[in-house]
Amino acid sequence: MSSQRPTLADVAATAGVSVSTASLAFSGAGPIAASTRERVLAAATELGYSGPNPLGRQLRSGRSGIVGVVVGDALRRSFRDPVSIQVLDGLVGTLGEMNLGVLLIPGPTDPAEPPVDPLVLSAAMDVAVLLWGSGVEDPVLGALRRRGVPTVVVEGVPEPDVATVGIDDRAGMADAARHLVDLGHRRIACVSLPFDRARGEGIVAPERVGEAVWQVTRRRFEGMRDGGVEPVEIYETPASLVEHGAAAGRALLDRPDRPTAVLCQSDLLASGVVLAARELGLAVPGDVSVAGFDGLDLPWLAPDVLTTVAQPLAEKGAQVGRAVAQLLEGNHPDPVVLPVELRVGTTTGPVPA
Amino acid sequence: MSSQRPTLADVAATAGVSVSTASLAFSGAGPIAASTRERVLAAATELGYSGPNPLGRQLRSGRSGIVGVVVGDALRRSFRDPVSIQVLDGLVGTLGEMNLGVLLIPGPTDPAEPPVDPLVLSAAMDVAVLLWGSGVEDPVLGALRRRGVPTVVVEGVPEPDVATVGIDDRAGMADAARHLVDLGHRRIACVSLPFDRARGEGIVAPERVGEAVWQVTRRRFEGMRDGGVEPVEIYETPASLVEHGAAAGRALLDRPDRPTAVLCQSDLLASGVVLAARELGLAVPGDVSVAGFDGLDLPWLAPDVLTTVAQPLAEKGAQVGRAVAQLLEGNHPDPVVLPVELRVGTTTGPVPA
DNA sequence: TTGAAAGCGCTAACAT
DNA sequence: ATGTTAGCGCTTTCAA
């Protein structure tokens, strides 16, 4: 019985039993007489012992019970994006049921900084999750591989040794594009997610699309073309945020030869475009149609309801949780691709006469 | 050299040195010949050893390097609140510099559920942070106390054994109230944050204010009275979200004897009220003035800029990080109270004639 | 049903 | 500068 916090040994001594018996009293992982357990618990209360020290348990079992979640970006930005939040929420819920905790790991921020957070290198975790895709030769993924940490990549490219969970964004974007074409639109502009870590902002040449490093961005461009849309203008944004969408909207719509529709790669960008249109006195969809992607709830856009491609965000998080469980059991889960669905709102309509 | 992942012992054996020497090669916490280090690192590379197992290190040092952060609510809700996000962001940044990781712990959700997440009871953590206040006899705080986990409570009531970081919301709210009074407003309604875990929604009797359990809510009410405002109507919301503010706005403004000003306990609530006013065809601030609290950036409210009481959110997170550092060093940090500042925007004006 | 003993992987006194 | 030794707190065979 040391002067520090009591240990299981102290409790066992006080209760007059062996350490292993005391352990059983707490874990319930073996036969133990009810009376003995009582005695141990009483001793624990007496000593102010609040249960086995997790550190000891973890070393012994080789498991930390922790899932490291690398958010795709600086927290502030990542967490202003309801898409990440909802996935994270679904994930935490599922992991919570399995008694796993989520360790937040900041992803790569500006290109100047070292691309790998120290936590990736040395935090205790049983599994890692990359919340927003992985680039080619991703340094974070490389580090996790070297450590032998099994990993789930959300919206990543399937590779032999990582599990992936994603959505069929290509098909969804194609549906959205087709919807606009069916409405008669031909002069369609596109507001895109970032191409890469450089996060440029502004109109880009169509050729540059091929250079986009981020897979989500690439796939949504591909879907757009599948749907028969060759954009008259492409605006790259540095992040999926309302203000960048608004900037894009101003740049694209404040001119005589403006497009009749704007197809955006995210809902936040799209809602920024809607706000910019309102600001410019343009009617939506009378003068310009706007469509997004994600299926977010955007109460402040009222009375408008954004036309969008809805993806099952919380379900995505839950699927990631399931993949984590698989990896913990030593299996390699099959890639998951969740379906998406075009949801027509009030922001798209026939091309103006 | 087992068939599992290599351990430090394997590396030491391969390099032909003792385990302790190998340890030094990685930690650098002692004298070691450059050539020896080289040899150890070479052996590590050869074996695919990527550094000391954190679990062993943690047990040995008695430190997990983890800070458990209890978010005040279900993640989904909590993370839709930019206030929590910005504090969390500041916190993660500060802790990252000290090589500490953040373990996300869901706070109490609906009153039916058990109020304490299992992670609170048994996850490894050196310090805990309660991100949004603590109630009277808070069960989470109680559990942490029993475990002997030093704790920082954001916006909590100072108690001898917990550190606190907060803002002077009482004074800030008093400024906002005075601002409205100075503009001539007398019929002022209040839209409040939740009173307690029950999270009621709707107009409440003034007497009920005294029963509010959540300290932030209480203090903001007190400030309002300090500023000379006795609200004609109080609307309690179940969470600080735009849609609840909008609901409150509709309830309060859609009637002939409507108030001339609405003082809200958060910016999201206030912006909901502004949207409701617009919806009802009321001019802001021509027909009704609206003020909030927090100092958020609300681009989608443009062209309006909300009158608000700005609090230093990221700085608050950083201060929490500093308090954590203090606790880790065994000190008891003094309570921190950060200043706030009234920022007059375009949503408040003279009382209508 | 209980106890004795080994050891998870590492670090840090201490000795050399 | 390097090696020896002990032990962090726990779980888990194995034997009684």
Q: How far apart are CA A70 and CA A344, in angstroms?
A: 33
- Chain B nearest CA to A282, separation (Å): 15
Closest residue by C-alpha to C1' distance, nucleotide D13: A20
Which of A101, A124, A300 comes nearest B55 by C-beta?
A124
% pLDDT > 70, chain A = 97
A127-140 pLDDT tens trace: 999 998 776 678 99
Which of these ranges, A85-89, A275-279, B28-32, B109-113, has the smallest mean pLDDT?
Answer: B109-113
pLDDT score recorded for residue A158 = 84
B67-107 pLDDT tens trace: 999 997 777 777 888 899 999 999 999 999 999 999 999 98
pLDDT score recorded for residue A3 = 58
Q: How far apart are CA B334 and CA B341, in angstroms?
A: 22
> Per-domain residue ranges for chain A?
8-52, 66-167+313-338, 169-311
Round to a whole number and report the distance in Å from the CA of B21 to the C1' of C15.
15
Is strand D less than 7 A from the beta carbon of A59? yes
pLDDT score recorded for residue B3 = 57
Tell me if chain A has a CB within 8 Å of the CB of B80.
yes
Amino acid at A252: L
User: Domain A66-167+313-338, what fold?
Assistant: Rossmann fold (3.40.50)
pLDDT score recorded for residue B342 = 98
pLDDT score recorded for residue A188 = 98
Mean pLDDT over residues A147-171, rounded? Answer: 94
Q: Does position B1 have pLDDT exceeding 50, yes or no?
A: no
Best residue of A27, A55, A113 to probe chain B, by most B CBs closer than 10 Å: A55
pLDDT score recorded for residue A2 = 42
Mean pLDDT over residues A20-46, rounded? Answer: 95
pLDDT score recorded for residue B198 = 86
Query: Does B169-311 match B66-167+313-338 at the fold level?
Result: yes
Round to a whole number and report the distance in Å from the CA of A65 to the C1' of C6.
24
Structure-model confidence comparison of residues B160 and A188, the more confident one: A188
pLDDT score recorded for residue B169 = 96
Q: Does position B347 have pLDDT exceeding 90, yes or no?
A: yes
Q: Are A86 and B76 an interchain contact pair (Cβ–Cβ within 8 Å)?
A: yes
User: Token pair 């609530």 is at which residue?
Assistant: B269
% pLDDT > 90, chain B = 84
- Name the nt closest to B21 by C-alpha to C1': D2
Cβ atoms within 10 A of the Cβ of B59, count? Answer: 20
B43-77 pLDDT tens trace: 999 999 999 999 999 999 999 999 999 997 777 77
- Chain B nearest CA to A31, separation (Å): 23
User: Domain A169-311, what fold?
Assistant: Rossmann fold (3.40.50)
pLDDT score recorded for residue B107 = 87
Enumerate the residues of chain A whose CB falls inside 8 A of the CB of residue B242.
299-300
- Residue B213's pLDDT band (boundaries 50, 70, 90)? confident
Find all residues with CB under 8 Å of A143, minimum gap 6, and list them.
A116, A120, A121
Quick one: which of B235, B232, B261 has its CA closest to B248? B235
Round to a whole number and report the distance in Å from the CA of A20 to the C1' of D15.
14
Query: In this structure, what DSSP letter does residue B237 have?
Result: -
User: Token pair 């809902």 is at which residue?
Assistant: A267
Within 7 Å of a protein beta carbon, the nucleotides of strand D are 1-13
% pLDDT > 90, chain A = 85
Beta-bridge partner residues of A67: A102, A127
Contact call for residues A268 and A241 (beta carbons, < 8 A):
yes
B230-265 pLDDT tens trace: 999 999 999 999 999 999 999 999 999 999 999 999
Round to a whole number and report the distance in Å from the CA of B277 to the C1' of C11.
65
pLDDT score recorded for residue A133 = 76
Round to a whole number and report the distance in Å from the CA of B143 to the C1' of D16.
39
Q: How far apart are CA A36 and CA A38, in angstroms?
A: 5
Q: Which segment, A195-199, A296-300, B310-314, is predicted with the most confidence on average? A: B310-314
* Distance set, CA B157 to CA A10, B132, B136, B160, B164 (Å): 35, 11, 9, 10, 7
Enumerate the residues of chain A whose CB falls inside 8 A of the CB of residue B74.
89
Within 7 Å of a protein beta carbon, the nucleotides of strand C are 1-13
A84-105 pLDDT tens trace: 999 999 999 999 999 999 999 9
Q: What is the pTM of this model?
A: 0.93
Q: How far apart are CA B275 and CA B291, in angstroms?
A: 13
Q: Does position A1 have pLDDT exceeding 50, yes or no?
A: no
Which of A58, A89, A275 comes nearest B79 by C-beta?
A89
Beta-bridge partner residues of B328: none
The order of strands in the sheet holding A202-204 is A202-204, A233-236, A188-192, A261-264, A289-291
pLDDT score recorded for residue A64 = 98
Enumerate the residues of chain A whose CB falls inside 8 A of the CB of residue B47.
none
Cβ atoms within 10 A of the Cβ of B97, count? Answer: 12
Tell me if chain A has a CB within 8 Å of the CB of B118.
yes
